[in-house]
Structure 1
Amino acid sequence: MHQFLVNNREELIERCKEKVAQRPRRAATDQQLVHGVPIFLEQLIRTLEAEELGESAEGTRISGASGGDGTALSEIGLSAAAHGRELLELGFTVDQVVHDYGDLCQAITDLAVERDAPFSVNEFRTLNRCLDNAIADAVTEFSYQRDLSRFEEQAAEANQRIGFLVHELRNALGTAKLAVGALELSNMPITGATGAVLKRSLGALQKLIDKTIDEVRSSPRPTIVREVFLVTDFLADAAATARLDPKAHLCRFEVVPADPALSVEANRGILSAALGNLLQNAFKFTRPNGIVQLRAVQDGSRVLIQVQDGCGGLPAGSASRIFIPFSQRSDDRTGLGLGLSIARKSVEADGGTLSVQDLPGLGCVFTISVELAPSGAAPIGAQDRT
Structure 2
Amino acid sequence: MKKGIKVRLVSYITIVLLLIVLLLEGIFIFGIHSYYLGTAMDTLTSRASTSATFFNKYLEGYSINERARYILENLSREESSKVEVLDPSGAVIINSFGFASKEHIETPDVTSAQDNHIGTFRSITPVQGERILAVSVPLREYDTTIGILRFSVSAEPLYEVILKIAINAAWVGLGVIAFGFVLSLLIAKRIVGPIQQLTEIAQKMATGNFNVRAQKRYDDEIGTLAVTLNYMSEELGKSEKMKYDFISSVTHELRTPLTSIKGWGETLLVGDLSDKEETLQGLEVMTGETDRLIGLVEDLLDFSKFQAGEMQLEPLIYDLRKLLEELHLQFRYRGQPKQIHLYAEIPEQPLPVYGDFNRLKQVFVNLLDNAFKFTPVQGFVRITASFSGGQVAVTVADNGEGIQPEDLAKLGTKFYKGKSRQSGSGLGLAICKEIIELHGGRLSIRSEPMKGTVVTVELPLHQGPQPESSS
Shorter-chain TM-score tier: 0.3 to 0.5
| Greater length-normalized contact order (CA 8 Å, ≥ 6 residues apart) | 1
Give the alignment's TM-score, normalised by structure 1: 0.45
Give the alignment's TM-score, normalised by structure 2: 0.37
- The structure where strand makes up a greater share of residues is 2
